[in-house]
Amino acid sequence: SSHPTQILSDIFTVEEIKKKTISKLNITWIGDCNNVLNSLISASIKFSFKLNIGCPKSYEPNEKLLMWVKKNKGKIKVFNDSKKAAIGSDVIFTDKVISMNDKVNKSKKLKDFKNFKVTSKVMNFAKKDAIFLHCLPASRGHEVSSDVIDGKQSKVWQQALNRVHVQKSIILYCLEKLR
């Protein structure tokens, strides 16, 4: 599964804030390998940007997807350490550890991800001007600490607002109003 409209608005947000094309930036995802990450992986091929993924070993992207990345000369590295994944990042993304309709042992999954929370310690491994993004809603204390999501590096509200405008543009494009 994927979430392409989310990623299109995220790329718009990143480029708007960083004033650079995403291909010149280091992007990091810390957390579960879900629909949003699947689209971010696809985007990393399409827009040619470096993508670090920080997740527990047993939650890595599937082999088929990683083979596709390799075949398409993707610049993706997978780390089983959130701090290593964050080194030199311009942008750090995360999402809920327990997604809607997640049919898993929730307490086990939360325990598996306890070292993959975006905290100020993790943000300190990124560049000084790195930004934090989350597609919301967030589970504070699970995938992100309150000081990060409420801090000056967090751009989640700008990201959410941009999603409205980018998705309206996609609809207009599909209706041939933007061609």
pLDDT (tens digit per residue) in 118-131: 999 999 999 999 99
Q: How confident is the model at residue 139 (pLDDT cuts 50, 70, 90)?
A: confident
**Mean pLDDT score, 158-172:** 95
Classify 29 as helix, strand or coil: strand
Dihedral angle over CA of 45, 131, 124, 62, nearest 10:
-30
Q: Is 100 a residue whose pLDDT tops 80? A: no
CA 157 to chain centre: 15
**Mean pLDDT score, 91-109:** 89
What is the average pLDDT score of the chain? Answer: 95
**Type of residue found at 157:** W
The gap between the terminal CA atoms of the chain, to the nearest Å, is 29
**Mean pLDDT score, 46-54:** 98
Q: What is the pTM of this model?
A: 0.94
**Mean pLDDT score, 63-81:** 96
Classify 84 as helix, strand or coil: helix
Contact call for residues 173 and 23 (beta carbons, < 8 A)? no
CA distances from 34 to 19, 30, 98, 157 (A): 28, 11, 10, 21
CA distances from 43 to 46, 76, 84, 155 (A): 5, 11, 22, 20
Q: What is the pLDDT of residue 179?
A: 67
